[in-house]
Chains A and B, each alone.
Chain A
Amino acid sequence: MAVRKGLTLTDVLITVVIGFVFAVIYSLWGAIYTVLQPLGLHLNELAYGMWFIAAVIAYLILRKPGVALLAEFAAGAGETIVTLQFDVILIVYALLQGLACEIIFALFKYESTKMMTAVYAGIAAALITLPIDWFYGYLAEVATWNIVLMFSFRIISGALIAGVLAHLIYQALRETGVLKFVGKRKLNHDEGL
Chain B
Amino acid sequence: MLEQIKNYHTFVDRTNPLTKIFIGILLFLLVVLMHNPNQLFYLSLIMLIIMIILSGIRLRYLAVVLVLFFVFGAFSAMYMVFYGTGETTLFRFGLIHVTEESLIRGIHIMMRGLTLSFFGALVIFTTKLTDIFYSMMIQLKLKPKFAYSFMAAIRMVPIIAGEYMMLRQARKVRKPLIHKKHISGIKGFITTVITLLSQSIRRAYRLGVAMEAKQFDDGPRTYYYQTAFSKYDVLFVMMIIVIAFVSFCLGTEFNLINVTDAR
> Hey, which bits of chain A sit against chain B, CB under 8 A?
7-10, 12-21, 23-25, 34, 37-42, 57, 61, 70, 74, 77-78, 80-82, 84-89, 92, 132, 135-138, 140-143, 146, 150, 165, 168-169, 172-173, 176, 178-179, 181-182
Contact = CB atoms under 8 A, between A and B. Distances in A.
Contacts of B186: 165, 168
A84 B1 CA distance: 11
B198 interface: yes
A-B pairs, 5 with minimum CB distance: A10-B208, A86-B120, A40-B79, A40-B82, A40-B78
B82 A16 contact: no
A150 B117 CA distance: 24
B112 to A, nearest CB: 7
Interface of B: 24-25, 27-28, 32, 72, 75-76, 78-86, 95-97, 101-102, 105, 108-109, 112, 116-117, 119-121, 123-124, 127, 129, 145-146, 149-150, 152-154, 156-157, 160-161, 164, 186, 190-191, 193-194, 196-198, 200-205, 207-209, 211-212, 216, 218, 262-263
Contacts of B127: 86
Contacts, number: 184
B85 A88 contact: no
Contacts of A16: 146, 149-150, 152-153, 204
A38 B149 contact: no
B157 A82 contact: yes
Given A42-B79, A142-B84, A172 B194 contact: yes
A13 B78 CA distance: 40
A13 B204 contact: yes
Contact of B149 (A12, A84, A146): A12
